[in-house]
Structure 1
């Protein structure tokens, strides 16, 4: 960091010892506190390792949660560390230690854990050195692998340098957009000539994590698929036609008043009837009574809800901010979003859908009963169990789990349906294959969480 550049002539250890000696002359007890705080901050690796992000994380999280003492001592430890940074001629770090924000966050932790986490998140997000998510590039995971963690810390240091250089001014108008732009450029640029970008390394790490399986059945599939989904699939020529139901519902929700709902908060009969007429959704009577009568209607609503595009307002569906962006989006953007939502959000349905799509893409036997048996084997190998018995999920229940994906494939017209007993089974259309590849890629590259196995 720029604040340390003045130390090049002497070692950081010499500077630290001089600062501690000066503190000891002023107040021996203060020097002891500063030494303990500094060693905790740097893990004994010296002042050269300190970053503003690391210091803030220590002040706003590690100090109040790992140092078991009262608020007064927490504040005193922060202040003595600030005095030490003052002597080291690192004013920005000294200011962070004694800032009103630091005092507020420390106080919040002593009010309760929830208050502490809320204050921590607010302070970090406002600091300017917390790497932001960048739309269509990267959402940081709650759980990070080594490559992602390294990229996160490097990005935090890069944002700090941008602040020091005057390219980023936290709190100023438009600063968050500037932070996203700086972060996106940093992640997508090679760190050295001929090397992968940090984003590419994160993608490789996430792909490897996704492909790692506990069971042999899923492992065989991911081994065949991983290389195919490393690069994005091209947008199919008929993508807009396949997206027509989604585009229609988003357009309806964007009108004044939104989409009318029944008293039970299902789509109004007139809306369902219009969908049946537009998209030839099959009805037994020709006059659907409700959304529940038409699988395509409630499947479409589920899909749009998973996109985060709509919310209920009394007895209407209206667009969220994300929905407004999607309603205005071009074909490529909307197709990418819908493809990513092809795999249901529910963990068990999502796990089943992954296997079904991989079976389609690897040209495995794709008759319904063969698929169901293969999905059952793969899910059992991954540790999925029925909730009551504790035994592997029964094959009939797996069939229900597969249904969510099949309804979405039908809604978007992505399947060649079986028409005779001689037909080996349903097959994805060319557009369906591209959509499946995009869905699996999005699944593999999604942010990591601490969610485990189970059903």
Structure 2
């Protein structure tokens, strides 16, 4: 305990012997033996609203808060002492007495209302599990938010503060550090998260694959030179909806539009044209992606662009960035399959069914299984084809079917899947997003303790 804090505790103990132990407890919880200037408002709030009710017996809560208020007042930190004495703190402790869910909900709401919650940025979303660098960055942001809030005097629940909080967070993350030179809090977090992405997986093959591309993920990845060609199929879909498109009674694209699409992008290898959109999986996939990204919407039988769709249609780089988010599918199983597919293709082309067999082994080692048994190469093959179908449509990969001798039924050339030049950049961008994804207590992509069920 530092001298000034120790002196304050001694003064309180002499004045009120019953309160002294709680002032000492508050000193330990707030400073851990350091000077009082290590304290911030965000840490004080977390201590009063979470640590006290979760670590102490309920009969000690009020005394612990009173000891905290006394200590802060004795140290001349009147604004902090008022938080301890506030109706908000009393209300939150009463909520905890009703139960953990009620208490934690009240504490979270009050923390949000305080204005000291670091908002997500375009480049970084916060998780509930953090490494040391990220925790340091979050503390710096919370202190910067507190400083700006106190100096400005604005309402922390108002719109102007939300904009200011965003600016403060981004500026704090991007500011150059004296040490290490050339780094920022953001780059330190990126490095830490990429390292955690590698070290956090128990399967040696996956850790090695991730480690091989790690350095390529540390810097932002710009759209590839071939972005326009890559997004051309989605651009075409959006163009059909630009002026509003009347769908069939079954809500499919009109047959004439379907024929135009398959001819333009070589999606139909048969002599007779497709009867409807339902015959063309690529179109169904693209429309689903466009809908999920809210680039298009259907009103009755009319397909129309949204504002986001208009922006994406006029800017291939924007559309590419939006599509990167979708190439891993919508479930975590699809996501890990897409990651393993990307990692494998970065090392070399996939030939025949070698990839299916290897990834089945890897996924089993990671803990993925069916409810009725082990995951099989066939399961993996089906999941891979779901991803590859979209990737082929978006020109991320080139897929060449096997060539067979019709007379002898011998395979002359194996099937082969290879990344395009634009596809290399695209899958690296996807991997970077997975590596930098926030970690949470439950359900984080790298947490494979719980076996996941492939049978929906």
Note whether the superposition's TM-score is higher than 0.5: yes
Residue 377 in structure 1 maps to residue 361 in structure 2: yes
- Counterpart selection for 2:77 from 75, 82, 90: 90
Q: Which segments of 5 or more consecutive residues in structure 1 lack a partner in the other structure?
A: 1-11
**1:229 aligns to what?**
217
Q: 1:163 to 1:189 in 2, by over 3 A?
A: same
Question: Following the alignment from structure 1 to structure 2, what is the Cα–Cα distance between the partners of residues 325 and 168?
Answer: 36
- Counterpart selection for 1:52 from 26, 37, 41: 41
TM-score by length of 1: 0.82
8 Å CA contact retained: 2:133, 2:189 = yes
Aligned residues: 431
Question: Following the alignment from structure 1 to structure 2, what is the Cα–Cα distance between the partners of residues 54 and 352?
Answer: 40
**1:67 aligns to what?**
56
Question: Following the alignment from structure 1 to structure 2, what is the Cα–Cα distance between the partners of residues 409 and 337?
Answer: 14
Q: 1:301 to 1:107 in 2, by over 3 A?
A: farther
Question: Following the alignment from structure 1 to structure 2, what is the Cα–Cα distance between the partners of residues 142 and 315?
Answer: 43
**1:429 aligns to what?**
420
Deviations 1:189-214 (A, max 9, x none): 22216241111111111111222342
Q: 1:156 to 1:407 in 2, by over 3 A?
A: same
Deviations 1:315-360 (A, max 9, x none): 9989899x57965883323312311321123222222211211121
Q: 1:13 to 1:126 in 2, by over 3 A?
A: same
8 Å CA contact retained: 2:328, 2:335 = yes
Question: Following the alignment from structure 1 to structure 2, what is the Cα–Cα distance between the partners of residues 325 and 35?
Answer: 61
Residue 407 in structure 1 maps to residue 389 in structure 2: yes
Pairwise CA distance, 1:65: 2.2
SS at match of 1:416: strand
Q: 1:259 to 1:17 in 2, by over 3 A?
A: farther
**Within-5 A mapping of 1:12-23:** 13-23=2-12
8 Å CA contact retained: 1:19, 1:88 = yes
**2:408 aligns to what?**
none
**Within-5 A mapping of 1:387-398:** 387-389=371-373, 391=374, 393-398=375-380
8 Å CA contact retained: 2:70, 2:81 = yes
**2:32 aligns to what?**
43
Residue 131 in structure 1 maps to residue 98 in structure 2: no
* Mean CA deviation greater in 50-59 or 99-108: 99-108
Pairwise CA distance, 1:439: 1.1
- Counterpart selection for 1:205 from 183, 187, 192: 192
Pairwise CA distance, 1:101: 2.4
8 Å CA contact retained: 2:258, 2:274 = no
- Counterpart selection for 1:77 from 64, 72, 77: 64
Pairwise CA distance, 1:250: 6.1
Question: Following the alignment from structure 1 to structure 2, what is the Cα–Cα distance between the partners of residues 113 and 309?
Answer: 40
Aligned Cα root-mean-square deviation (Å):
3.4
Q: Which segments of 5 or more consecutive residues in structure 2 lack a partner in the other structure?
A: 404-411
Q: 1:18 to 1:320 in 2, by over 3 A?
A: farther
Residue 298 in structure 1 maps to residue 305 in structure 2: no
Question: Following the alignment from structure 1 to structure 2, what is the Cα–Cα distance between the partners of residues 351 and 163?
Answer: 42
8 Å CA contact retained: 1:217, 1:377 = no
Question: Following the alignment from structure 1 to structure 2, what is the Cα–Cα distance between the partners of residues 91 and 379?
Answer: 56
TM-score by length of 2: 0.82
8 Å CA contact retained: 2:238, 2:313 = no
- Counterpart selection for 1:240 from 213, 228, 244: 228
